[in-house]
Amino acid sequence: MADQAATAETGQHVFVALHDHEVEWKEGDDANELLTLPPGVKVKILNYDPVMKRVDMKVKFPPGYVEPEHSHKSWHSICVLDGRMCVAGKDLRAGDYVFGGDISHGPYEYPDGCEVFCVFMGEGTEHIWDESQHLAHENTWDAETDAGKEGVEAQKAARASGKVSAG
C-alpha cells in the first residue's frame, strides 16, 4: 500500500479506509512466510505500520484446521468474524475475542472453518511451535457441518501421515 510506504518514509501515521474486496488473499507460501503455520491458511494484510510495529490482518482457516500451541515475539488480539474458533475450553463465534500475549497459547481448533480479524504488535507475525507436538494433537471439538467433518478428517489424516511442516 502506498500509505504504508509513506508511513515508513516519514514516520507519520496515515489514515486508511478500504473495501475488503480491494485486498487480495495471500495463500500458500505467501501466507506461510507471514505466519509460519501449517499449510492451509489465507491472509489479507489490511494495514502495516512499521513505526508502531503493528500489522492488521484477516486470517481465514479452512474447516478442520488446527493451529498449533505456539508463541510469538509479539502479542496479538483476535476478533472472530465468521465460523468457529475453539480454544481454552471455549467455543467462540462471531464477535468473540481472544488475546494471545507473548506467552504460549493454543492449540486453536477451527472445526467448521473460521475467519478472524487479528492485530499483531511487536517483532513480527511468526508463530513459534513444535511440529512433533502438533502432529500428536488429538481434536477435542466436533464439527457441526459436513464440510467441517470432512475437514477434520482430512487434517487428522495429514497429521497422522506427517504431512505438516513448520514452514
Neighbours of 112 (CB within 10 A): 25
How many structural domains does the chain have? 1
- d(CA 128, CA 47) in angstroms, rounded, equals 23
- Inside any domain, residue 1: no
The per-residue pLDDT for 124 is 87
d(Cα 79, Cα 63) in Å, to the nearest integer?
Answer: 18
Burial class (CB in 10 A: 0-12, 13-18, 19+), 42: middle
Judged against a pLDDT cut of 70, whether residue 28 lies above it is answered with yes
In a domain, 58, yes or no: yes
User: What are 149-163's pLDDT values in tens digits?
Assistant: 999 999 999 999 987
Residue 70's domain spans which residues? Answer: 20-160
CATH classification of the domain holding 46: 2.60.120.10
pLDDT given at position 166: 47
Q: Residue 8 falls within a domain, yes or no?
A: no
Q: Is residue 94 part of a domain?
A: yes
Cα 23 → chain centroid: 17
Between 11 and 158, residue with greater pLDDT: 158
Chain segment 80-94, per-residue pLDDT in tens: 999 999 999 999 999
Within a domain: 148 = yes
Quick: pLDDT tens for 107-137. 999 999 999 999 999 988 999 999 999 999 9
Band of residue 63 on the pLDDT scale cut at 50, 70, 90 = very high
Per-position DSSP letters for 60-104, written without gaps between them = EE-TTEEEPSBB-SEEEEEEEEEE-EEETTEEE-TT-EEEE-SS-
* Residue-level pLDDT at 144: 97
pLDDT for 101: 77
Q: What is the pLDDT of residue 140?
A: 94
Q: Give domain status of residue 47, yes or no.
A: yes
pLDDT at position 9 is: 55
Residue 5 lies in a domain: no
Q: Please indicate, yes or no, if residue 12 is contained in any of the structural domains.
A: no
Asked if 138 and 106 count as a contact pair (C-beta separation under 8 A), the reply is no
